[in-house]
Amino acid sequence: MNIEIILIIFIAIILTAIVTYMITNKIHKANFDIHEIKAKAKAKAIEFESELDIQTKQTKLENREKNIELQQQKLTMLVEEAQQTSSKNRKQLEQTTKALEDIANITIDEAKDILVELSRDIAQGSIDKLYQDGYAKIKEDLKEKSAQLLLDATSRYMTDFLETNFTSNIKINDEKLKGKIIGKNGKNIKALKDILHVDIILDNDTDHITVSSFNIYRREIAKKTIIALIDDGRINESKIESTQESIKQNMDKDIVQESKALLKRLGIKNIHEELVYLIGKLKYRTSYGQNALLHTIEVAKLSGLIASEIGADVELAKRAGLLHDIGKALTAEENRNHVDIGAELAIKHKEPAEVINAIYAHHEHEEPKSLEAYAVCIADSLSAGRVGARSGMLESYIKRVEQIELICSQKSCVAQAYAIDGAKEVRVLVKSTDIKDEETYALASQLAFEIADQVSYPGEIKVNVIREHRAIDYARH
């Protein structure tokens, strides 16, 4: 092959490549233009669709706003119609009310008050009936249960009844000793009566001395004093007085010891010393012939038994029972009822509220406020109410004697006053420094008048005013 042919072939190849490139390039450009046209067309279509959607939404929004506006207009019309109807009805109601008030001659407010009161009465009547029916059933049930409870309690506690009398006998067989006790012209026995404040009966036909007094404490001191004087053999005013004082001090000590032993047996603690003494002193007091201490012990034990059955505080109930009559230990010295005295003592010594309430409640000075107070009230009634426990005439006699002594002792010039001879005589010892002999007659008359005016009694009472002046000196080496 020569060079010319090769060159022609080479040029042909180059030309073919160039033509091919140009044709390919043209094809690519045509394709690109087609894609560009399609893209622009699509964009136009999207834009058109968007504009149509916006127009549609705007149309819907405008329609909705128109509907809301129409609804508001309708609502406004309804409100206006309702107001008009309400105003019309109000006027009709006022006219009707006025017409009714004119016919009934009563205002609507007054009618309301009547209706409310009538409704209240009807409701109260229904409530009362329900209460009565329920209360009757509860009362019947409680009656049966309480009867069983009391039977159980009383069957578990039994005690003998001991009635206290007002005389004590001292046996004496020696005739010489009898004469010594009487003394020359009855001087010694008179001194014994005057100092010991008791009746003393010494009869030659008997083998004993009878000591009589409604005041058991005073009588016991007198009895022990006389026994001590008989043992000593010396009987004179000075010896009687000193022996009496010594006996009294020893008795008070015994009272405290016996009271403490009682508290220990009952399991009651933390009682003030004054109350301890007064509890023991109840041994020397009576109520309608019933010994006050025995009654108190009985009430304390019964209260505890009842409390144990009803779920109350047993120790507190016994404490309240033991103190319920504590005021009786001081009624001989104070002209007041034992309930007020006892409550004041309990308050003074900071006793529990249940104890104070029980003291008031057992004589209905106030309502019981606790189970323990109820137990005490029941126990007190049981103890006092059993057959033979108390004697009314004896109690009235004691109260009469106490009243006579108090009337006399309230005078500032009186040192002591005591009734003797079955309260047919009252002996009044006056202070010699406060009253003259000639004034004793006026005092006797005044006391007799006050006793007659304030005390109810059969027969007459002798008022014996005694003024005694003693001059004492001592001989010394």
Tell me, what CATH number does 427's domain have?
Answer: 3.30.300.20
Total of domains in the chain: 4
Percent of the chain with pLDDT over 70: 65
- DSSP secondary-structure letter at 327? G
Q: What percent of the chain has pLDDT over 90?
A: 17
Cα 81 from Cα 58, distance rounded (Å)? 35
Same domain, 331 and 344: yes
pLDDT at 32 over 70: no
Where in the sequence is the domain holding 305, given as residue range(s)?
A: 267-390
pLDDT digits (tens, 9 = 90+) for 85-105: 777 767 776 666 666 556 656
Q: Is the pLDDT of residue 40 over 80?
A: no
Answer for the pair 166, 212: CB distance below 8 angstroms, yes or no. yes
* Residue 279 scores a pLDDT above 90: yes
242 and 273 part of one domain: no
Q: What is the pLDDT of residues 353-374, one digit of tens each?
A: 999 999 999 888 889 899 999 9
The sheet that has 167-171: what strands, in order across it? 167-171, 208-212, 199-202
Specify whether 150 is located in the same domain as 176.
Answer: no
Residues 272 and 384 in one domain: yes
CA angle 209, 212, 218 (to 5 degrees): 110
* C-beta of residue 323 within 8 angstroms of C-beta of residue 266: no
Do 117 and 161 fall within a single domain?
no
Q: Predicted confidence band at 470 (pLDDT cuts at 50, 70, 90)?
A: low
Q: Which segment of 61-70, 156-165, 330-339, 412-421 scores lowest on mean pLDDT?
A: 156-165
Max Cα separation, the chain? 209
Q: Given 222, 255, 288, which residue is the final one in a domain?
A: 255
**What is the Cα–Cα distance from 111 to 94, expressed in whole angstroms?**
15
Q: Contact 225/244 with Cβ under 8 angstroms? A: yes
Q: Report which secondary-structure segment, H or E, holds 293.
A: helix 292-310
14: pLDDT strictly greater than 80:
no
The reply to whether 151 and 162 lie within a common domain is no
Residue where a domain stops, chosen among 390, 411, 438: 390
Residue carrying the six token digits 């180059």: 14
Domain boundary among 156, 185, 218: 156
| Contact criterion met (CB below 8 Å) for 406 and 335 | yes
- Asked if the structure places residue 260 within a domain, the reply is no
Q: What count of residues does the chain have?
A: 477
pLDDT one-digit tens code per residue, 432-458:
888 888 888 888 888 888 888 888 776
pLDDT, tens digit, for every residue of 184-227?
888 888 888 888 888 888 776 677 888 888 788 888 999 999 99
Residues ≥6 apart with Cβ < 8 Å to 339: 327, 359, 360, 362, 363, 365
> How much is the pLDDT for 349?
93
How many angstroms separate the Cα of 242 from the Cα of each of 150, 454, 468? Answer: 51, 36, 18
Do 237 and 293 fall within a single domain?
no
| pLDDT classification of 276: cutoffs 50, 70, 90 | very high
Mean pLDDT within 421-431: 80
Asked whether the predicted pLDDT for residue 350 surpasses 90, the reply is yes
Place of tokens 């090769």: 6
**Residue 229, C-beta contacts closer than 8 angstroms, at least 6 positions apart:** 235, 239, 240, 243
Note the pLDDT of residue 321: 92
| Residues 6+ positions from 326 with CB-CB distance below 8 Å | 275, 278, 279, 282, 338, 341, 342, 345, 346, 359
Q: Is the predicted pLDDT of residue 131 greater than 90, yes or no?
A: no
Q: Are residues 369 and 433 in the same domain?
A: no
Pair 212, 201: CB distance under 8 Å: yes
- Considering the domain boundaries, does residue 197 fall inside one? yes
> Would you place residue 168 in the very low, low, confident or very high pLDDT band (cuts 50, 70, 90)?
confident
* pLDDT of 477 over the 80 cut: no
**Angle at CA of residue 250, ends 247 and 253, nearest 5°:** 150
Of the candidates 407, 470, 469, 419, which has an alpha carbon nearest to the alpha carbon of residue 443?
407
Please indicate, yes or no, whether residues 243 and 138 belong to a single structural domain of this protein. Answer: no
Mean predicted lDDT score pLDDT of the chain: 77
- CB atoms under 10 Å from CB of 53, counted, come to 10
Pair 374, 405 in one domain: no
Pair (246, 312) in one structural domain: no
Per the model's pLDDT, the better-predicted residue between 380 and 384 turns out to be: 380
Which pLDDT score is estimated for 13?
67
Of 107-116, 216-225, 262-271, 316-325, least confident by mean pLDDT is 107-116
